[in-house]
Structure 1
Amino acid sequence: MELPETSMLNFFNKVLISLVELTPDGDSCSVDSLITHCKSFALGGVRGEYESVLNHCRVGGLISIKGKNVSLSTLGNKFLSANREKYFEITESQKEIIAERIVFKGAWSNHARELFEHFSANTQTTLYELSTVETSLPQNQNVTIHFFKYLGILKEENSLIQVHKKYSQLVYELTVDGKAISEQQLEHLLMENRKLGAQAENVVVEFERQRLIKMGKTIQSELVKRISIINTAAGYDIESFDGTTDEVFPNRFIEVKATTGEDIRFYWTINEREVAKKKKNQYWIYALTNFREDKPNDSLPITIQNPEHIIPKHDSFSIEVNKYLISEIAKVELTEQHIDELKWYQLE
């Protein structure tokens, strides 16, 4: 399916907001009534071609159409949640959802794959890039570039088009089957993720110390340590304590996973999984989403105890067995936990 005009993306909000207004109980309504409702008022003085807008929303997975009825999908609900003020203009968070869910993993991935086959990995900058001087692209891919620049996937400066670093891993995953990349190149591309991970580990160490102090376990809090810097083969990053006893031998082993995106998404190595199998309830994953280097403490940990057992139970995750990439594909139900003002979320 062809990419829509960038201006059409704003009408996605109008369609989904109208759908929610027509279905307050979360059920469905007729396609005709939704189109009539949307056409009853103009957006920015412009009336959209709503049959086409609905088709793009359907193909993108934002809505579900069965027969003559239409309903909001889980992804559509997530898309609307990224626009809490109910603006008709698409928000930056919504652009990220479109990029991650529809461009890289959904209906528009063929456009992304065809374009990124022309990009190469720069091992100095750890970015995928393309020179518009050295490379001549078909007209349809110039349209794709314009669309991806609008979404924030690409940026252009001095005839050099670069992929935003937060999408480097997704570009790699999308093109790896059709385009060879060396281990050294991949190592460079993942370097930024490791820097992010190290900072996230320090955040979790401090979180654990505060958790134990609030549980009255001051001595244990002083023994929490980050071991990934001295033993990369341990299968976890941090040694801590559950706080239920006064033992000074660690009994909580934490693997930290950080992502700049809002969804839970991480690679889990064979070694980490094997250690998790052995330690069972003593093994934890602490996932930090929306993690920012400039505001590291803004991300509350999502804790997963015994992940080898818990993660496969949830339909909200996809698991790519060959790479063991864990991805959140639908809204995950989390339980909020707290000790006084110290907060976190737990997957159960």
Structure 2
Amino acid sequence: MENKISELNRLLLAVKEVMDDSGVALINSVIEQCKAVVIEGIMPEHNETIRFAEKIGFIKQGQKKLHLLISGRYFLELNKESMYDLLPAQKNYILRTCFLHGHFREETLFLLYKFSPDYKDNTFRWSAIDDTPLKVEGWFIERLIELGLLIPMESGFEISSQYINAVSAFLDEGKGWTLESFEQYLAEKKEVGDIAERAVFAYESERLAGLGCEVEAKCIRIISRLRVNAGYDIESFDNAAPGINYNRFIEVKGAKSPFIRFFWTENEMTIAKKLGKNYWIYFQGGIDAKNGVINNDPLLFQDPLNTLMKDADITNTPQGLIIQGKMKGVEVSKPIKK
């Protein structure tokens, strides 16, 4: 988008001003409202901002109307004082959900692969002199500068220190993906696996929201379908994370029985050892798929190699361990998330 991303605030504030109770606004009314506000003496092409907002899932366009979607509403909620400049929380949200994940993920990965690690200064840099051409449109780079991810240098760019860890993890995501392993993973997925992941995702969202970490709660993601060899299923946060760098990596185990019984692979144990206290197992028992309910809250195990292993019955197999125990989560009755 040639327009600044901050134009989303002008657009969505205009939608909020003229929309009805169902979140629907006439496009012409929205554009007129946008034109009524001049910022920095600039009057951009508002239709371009509308197309961008639709592309990233903030609004839906149809029959000369704009529908404000959940992501757009949340972006507005982060702007409690109705500012036109992007707030830090808005930048983090856009960066994580639209560039490091979401619509522009592949373009961002393609761009950042051209950056080289600078171990002395603990950053990533790209030089027009030493590195291969970026081959991306200028507006894309400008938007990443606006969001604070890229810092211009004399002959190139470097990654902002705030996002070094997030970018490092992001670049590592591309390693080891194959269509073969992806299809094999899907074929082996058990009935309760997807249900357990959705339940844990909802649990984590509620946990972080309860800590007042609303941006982090919106940025949790299930990565198991894309990174079949990651050794965990969900990326989350312990609490507030200003650098939007994931620091809680959750392997989800599900079962119909409320009592612990699951298989832990060699790869998952290797990753658990590497991540230490940042690695968690969430055991989601009590899944009743037939009746569409979950009868127990998940059990949480941080650094399971040093905690769970002490209290569980363990059976060795050539592929990994069968973990069993008499523990179960608090009894509840929750509908299965769709």
TM-score (norm 1): 0.51
The match for 2:16 among 15, 20, 29 is 20
**Residues 161-189 of structure 1, C-alpha deviations (whole Å, 9 max, x = no match):** 332355445545654465579xxxxxxxx
Quote the Cα distance in structure 2 between the aligned partners of 1:56 and 1:282.
39
Match of 1:107 in 2: 103
Letter in 1 for 2:3: E
Match of 1:5 in 2: 3
**Residues 91-127 of structure 1, C-alpha deviations (whole Å, 9 max, x = no match):** 2222222211112222222331221120234456554
Does 1:283 pair with 2:299?
yes
**Residues 37-88 of structure 1, C-alpha deviations (whole Å, 9 max, x = no match):** 3224433433331111111111121111133221111111121122111012
Quote the Cα distance in structure 2 between the aligned partners of 1:285 and 1:138.
43
Q: State the SS of the aligned residue for 2:67.
A: strand
Residue correspondence of structure 1 range 136-285 to structure 2 within 5 A: 136-138=132-134, 140=136, 143-157=139-153, 159=155, 161-168=157-164, 170-172=166-168, 174-176=170-172, 178=174, 257-258=238-239, 260-261=241-242, 266-269=248-251, 276=283, 283-284=299-300
Residue correspondence of structure 1 range 273-312 to structure 2 within 5 A: 276=283, 283-284=299-300
Match of 1:92 in 2: 88
Match of 2:63 in 1: 67
Asked if 1 retains the 8 angstrom alpha-carbon contact of 2:150 and 2:160, the reply is yes
Asked if 1 retains the 8 angstrom alpha-carbon contact of 2:282 and 2:298, the reply is no
Does 1:46 pair with 2:42?
yes
Structure 2 gaps of 5+ residues are 178-235, 252-267, 270-278, 287-295, 303-327
Quote the Cα distance in structure 2 between the aligned partners of 1:135 and 1:263.
27
Structure 1 gaps of 5+ residues are 182-254, 287-304, 316-348
Match of 1:76 in 2: 72
Quote the Cα distance in structure 2 between the aligned partners of 1:83 and 1:275.
34
Letter in 2 for 1:22: V
Moved more, 90-99 or 150-159: 150-159
Does 1:129 pair with 2:118?
no
Q: State the SS of the aligned residue for 2:57.
A: coil
Larger RCO, structures 1/2 (Cα 8 Å, 6+ apart) = 2
Q: State the SS of the aligned residue for 2:60.
A: strand
Asked if 1 retains the 8 angstrom alpha-carbon contact of 2:60 and 2:66, the reply is yes
Q: State the SS of the aligned residue for 2:23.
A: coil
Match of 1:57 in 2: 53
- Distance 1:4-1:103 versus aligned 2 partners, 3 A rule: farther
- Distance 1:46-1:132 versus aligned 2 partners, 3 A rule: closer
Moved more, 273-282 or 133-142: 273-282
Quote the Cα distance in structure 1 between the aligned partners of 2:168 and 2:335.
25
- Distance 1:109-1:120 versus aligned 2 partners, 3 A rule: same
Asked if 2 retains the 8 angstrom alpha-carbon contact of 1:104 and 1:174, the reply is yes
RMSD (CA atoms): 4.1
Q: State the SS of the aligned residue for 1:56.
A: helix
Quote the Cα distance in structure 2 between the aligned partners of 1:18 and 1:282.
42
- Distance 1:131-1:107 versus aligned 2 partners, 3 A rule: same
Q: What is the Cα deviation at residue 28 of structure 1?
A: 0.7
